[in-house]
Amino acid sequence: MSNVNLNNLTYNFSSKAQRNLWILFGAGLLLLILGLVFHHSPESVGGEGLEDHHSSLGQRLWANLLVNSYFFGGIALGATFFYALQYAAQASWSTVFMRLFSAIGTFLPIALGLILLIFIAGRMGFHHIYEWQDQKVYDPKSPEFDALVNHKKPYFADLFFWGRTLLFMGGWLCYQMWARKNALAEDVMKAGVDTARNWNLNLKNAAIFLVFFGFTTSVFSWDVIMSIDTHWYSTLFGWYNFAGWWLGAIIVANLLVMHLKSRGQMEYATPSHVHDLGKWMFAISFLWTYLWFSQFMLIWYSNIPEEVVYFQQRWEQFRGLFWITMIVNFSFPMLVLMSRDAKRNKSFLLFVALLIIFFHWTDTFLMVMPGTVGGHWGIGAIEIGMFLSFVSFFTFWILRSLSKAPILARNHALLEEGLHHHQ
C-alpha cells in the first residue's frame, strides 16, 4: 500500500485519556445530582394536571435523557448510514475514513437502548413526555379525553407501535453489528477471491440497508420526537432530522481526523481527503438549513392554526435560543467554510465543527423541551451535567472502539485508489 506506515495503524487509547474522560463524566454526573437536589418546582397553576407534569422534576430529567439519547444516537445512526452509502456508491476517496464511521456507529446500541427505556418508562407512567401513552386520552368518559389523539389510536396501538419500534431498531442494529464484524474479519482475509466476494456482499447489504433506512428513520423520528406534540405534524420532519444526524456524523469524523493527525497518525489522509470531508460538512449544513427553512416558511406562510402552534410556542417561550440556533447553524458554515483553504485549515474546521455540533444539540433541545416542560425550561445544572456525561461517555466509547481495530481497512477493495485521491 502506497505511503502507508503499517506500524502506525493502531490507536492507543491511553489510560490518561480514559481517566480524563471519566473525570469529565463524573463532573457531569455531580452537576446533574446537584441540579436534582437544588431543583425548585414551581407551584401548579390553576390545578391543571398538564402544568404539573410540565413543571415536575421527573419530567425535566426524562426530557433531558431523551434529548441526549436522540442526539448522540442520531450521530451514530448517521455514521452507519454514511458507511453503507460509501459501499453502495462504490466510493474510493472515503476508504481512509471508513473505520472512523464504523467506530462512531458502535454507540448505536446504547442510544437505542436508552430510547427504548424512555418508551417503556412512559408506558408505565413514570413520565408524561408522550400524551398518547396516557390511556385517559382515549376514554370518552375521562375529562382528559382528546378526540384528535383518539383518532390516531390505531397508529399508537401497542401491537403496531412496539412492533415497528423493535423492527426498526433491530434492523439498524443487525446491519451496524454485521458491518462492524465483517469489516474486522476482512483484515485477516487473503486478497483475491475472499476479498472480492466480501466486496460484493458489502455492496448488496449496504443497498438493502439504505432502502430500509430511508423509510424507517422518518417514521422513527415521528414516533420519538414529533409525537411529543401529538396534535402537530410535518411531512418534512423526518428529512430534517435525518440531515441533522448525517451532519453530526460528518462533524464527529472531522474531529476524529484532527485528533488522530495531532498524534502523528492518519498520515495517508491527504489535504484532499480532509478537504472532501470539510466539503461534506459544508454541504450538509446547507441541506439542513434548506429543510429547516422549508418547514418553517411553509407553515408560517400558510398560517394554519394547528400547524403554526408548533412554532408559536417556540417563538414565545424559546425565542432567543430558537433564532441563535438557526443563525449559527446556517451562517457559520457559509461564512467560514466557503473558501477552499478554510476546509483544509485545522483551526477553522475545529472551531466551526465544535460550534455547529453544539448548536445542533440545541436544535434537538428545541424539538423536545417545548412539548415536555413548556415554559418551565432552562439550561441549568441538570442540562449541563447530563450533556457533559453524554459527551464524555460518547467520546470514551468511540475512542475505545477505535482502539480495538486498525484505523485503516487494509483489505478494502478500493483502498489503493482511495490513497491516491487528489484534487
Render pLDDT for 311-341 as a digit per residue (tens, 0 to 9): 999 999 999 999 999 999 988 888 877 777 7
Cα–Cα distance, 293 to 370 (Å, whole number): 19
Provide CB contacts within 8 A for 323, sequence distance 6+.
Answer: none
Domain ranges across the chain:
18-419
CA–CA distance, 238 with 63 (Å, rounded to integer): 20
Distance from C-alpha of 313 to C-alpha of 306, rounded to nearest angstrom: 12
- What letters, b where the CB count within 10 A reaches 16 and e where it falls short, cover 342-377? bbebeebbeebbebbbebbbbbbbbbbbbbbbbbbb
Rg (CA), the chain: 22
77 and 212 Cβ atoms separated by less than 8 Å? no
- What pLDDT digit, counting tens, does each position of 358-404 carry? 999 999 999 999 999 988 888 999 999 999 999 999 999 999 999 99
Give yes or no for a contact between 280 and 248, defined as CB atoms under 8 angstroms apart. no
Backbone angles phi, psi at 394, to 5 degrees: -60, -45
Cell numbers at 400, concatenated: 475505545
**Alpha carbon distance 109, 68 (integer Å):** 14
Where b means 16+ CB within 10 Å and e means fewer, 220-241 reads bbbbbbbbbbbebebebbbbbb
Cβ atoms 9, 98 nearer than 8 A: no
- The answer, yes or no, to whether residue 44 has pLDDT greater than 60, is no
For the stretch 117-164, pLDDT in tens is 999 999 999 999 999 999 999 999 999 999 999 999 999 999 999 999
Instruction: Return the higher-pLDDT residue of 347 and 30.
Output: 30
Instruction: Write the DSSP symbol of residue 235.
Output: T
Distance between CA atoms of 272 and 303, rounded to whole angstroms?
Answer: 46
